[in-house]
Structure 1
Amino acid sequence: MTLWRGEVPLVLASQSRARRTLLENAGLACVAEPADIDERAMQTESGLVAPYELALHLAKAKALAVSATKPGAHVVGADQTLALGDRLFNKPAGRDEAHRQLLALAGRTHALHSAIAVARDSEVVFSHVAVAWMSMRPLSETDISAYLDEAGAAVATSVGAYQLEGLGVHLFDRIDGDHFTILGLPLLPLLAFFRDAQLLAM
């Protein structure tokens, strides 16, 4: 059962299980087709420093890359940047870098910028950026080590070394923002676009 009414299946240009689950839980069956792009190289080449601009640039790049191989399909690209003031964070390369990121974020409020872009036939037809403010509680070295021990390899799969839908929730004492934005897919504006385009059954 799907609410999708497009002529061809909806495509998600991401390997993120969380993003795919958000779409499927909203009744939108989709095909996952991760974009084959070098995000860090594109970040460097773009010269962009504003986190919302960078997130949007990468979301569009992912959607366009997959759209070129999926004629007629609506392709959803998404990207998320984490900024602490002017400092941008990427996914940690391993435990040591995850530890350093958590030390920098502990006791402070950072911004998650989540961007989405929809491309069809190699043209971006919709884009949006949302932000959530994440206040991490003060953390001791012991707290961080205990968290890293429990979270294991998962810390290297998300920027900031946490997944809020998992053990990462223990790191925070306040969150201001949309749940979907935090998980990396601002769902409400995306659904509104699909409804306006008469692509949904409701």
Structure 2
Amino acid sequence: MILASKSPRRKEILNQLGFQLEIKTKDIEEVSEKENVVDQIKDISWKKVIAVAEENRDEYVVGADTVVEIDGVILGKPRTEEEAKNMLRSLSGRDHRVITAYSIVNLAKNIDITNAVESRVYFKSISEEEIKWYVESREPMDKAGAYGIQGLGSIFVDKIDGDFFAIMGFPINHFIKTLNNLGITIESLNKI
């Protein structure tokens, strides 16, 4: 299976289940003309995967995209430390939505599926000292919404409603159900 993502978290989640992964990515512009936020994320996920699948027609290609959304505003990966601090301030003491879309494509087998999983994350109030400490750790700089739920950012999370792994970047349970619907069993995972 080809993972069309450089995300170490996605690779780790899939490796834990025995997927034999080859990493191949294409640089695409991560924008969508879709109006609905969920449709936008699904579109971007699909674009990442199809760009790789077109050059690997006989292979299963999987990829994903994750965003944080609050008050209708999408928080992607921060470009600067100040942007990361502002994102964390906007999330402090509030709840927000995390949307992860994933796509699986095998052009030779006419498989082209994209789904999205939504979760809600509730943050405690974060002090300026905590924000400064966290941003200085550099952890938020490659994470949607400027935090990683599986790392140091976990100290900000009061509770979640939804799928922890989707918040982390790949909804593995949902993905396995999709594979099962395609007739791919857990026992055969390391063979695809």
- TM (normalized to structure 1)? 0.86
Cα pair distance change 1:124/1:86, threshold 3 Å: farther
Counterpart position of 1:142: 129
Equivalence map 1:85-124=2 (5 Å): 85-121=71-107
Conservation of the 8 A alpha-carbon contact between 2:124 and 2:157 = yes
Q: Which moved more, 1:135-144 or 1:120-129?
A: 120-129
- After superposition, the C-alpha distances for 1:23-43 in whole angstroms (9 at most, x for unaligned) are 11011111111232021xx23
Secondary structure of 1:78's partner?
Answer: strand
Conservation of the 8 A alpha-carbon contact between 1:51 and 1:81 = no
Question: How far apart in 1 are the matches of 2:26 and 2:75?
Answer: 21
Secondary structure of 2:125's partner?
Answer: coil
- Structure 1 gaps of 5+ residues are 1-9
The letter of the residue matching 2:47 is A
- After superposition, the C-alpha distances for 1:64-108 in whole angstroms (9 at most, x for unaligned) are 100011121111121112110211112111211101111111111
Conservation of the 8 A alpha-carbon contact between 1:77 and 1:117 = yes
Counterpart position of 2:28: 37
Cα pair distance change 1:156/1:198, threshold 3 Å: same
RMSD between aligned residues: 1.6
Counterpart position of 2:154: 169
- After superposition, the C-alpha distances for 1:145-187 in whole angstroms (9 at most, x for unaligned) are 12222x22x3210111111111010111111111211111111
Conservation of the 8 A alpha-carbon contact between 2:134 and 2:140 = no
Alignment partner of 1:197 is 2:162 = no
Alignment partner of 1:18 is 2:3 = no
Secondary structure of 1:34's partner?
Answer: coil
- Structure 2 gaps of 5+ residues are 188-192
Counterpart position of 1:130: 117
Question: How far apart in 1 are the matches of 2:80 and 2:112?
Answer: 37
Question: How far apart in 1 are the matches of 2:37 and 2:169?
Answer: 14
Aligned residues with identical type, % of pairs: 25
The letter of the residue matching 2:119 is A
Question: How far apart in 1 are the matches of 2:99 and 2:175?
Answer: 15
Question: How far apart in 2 are the matches of 1:194 and 1:98?
Answer: 36
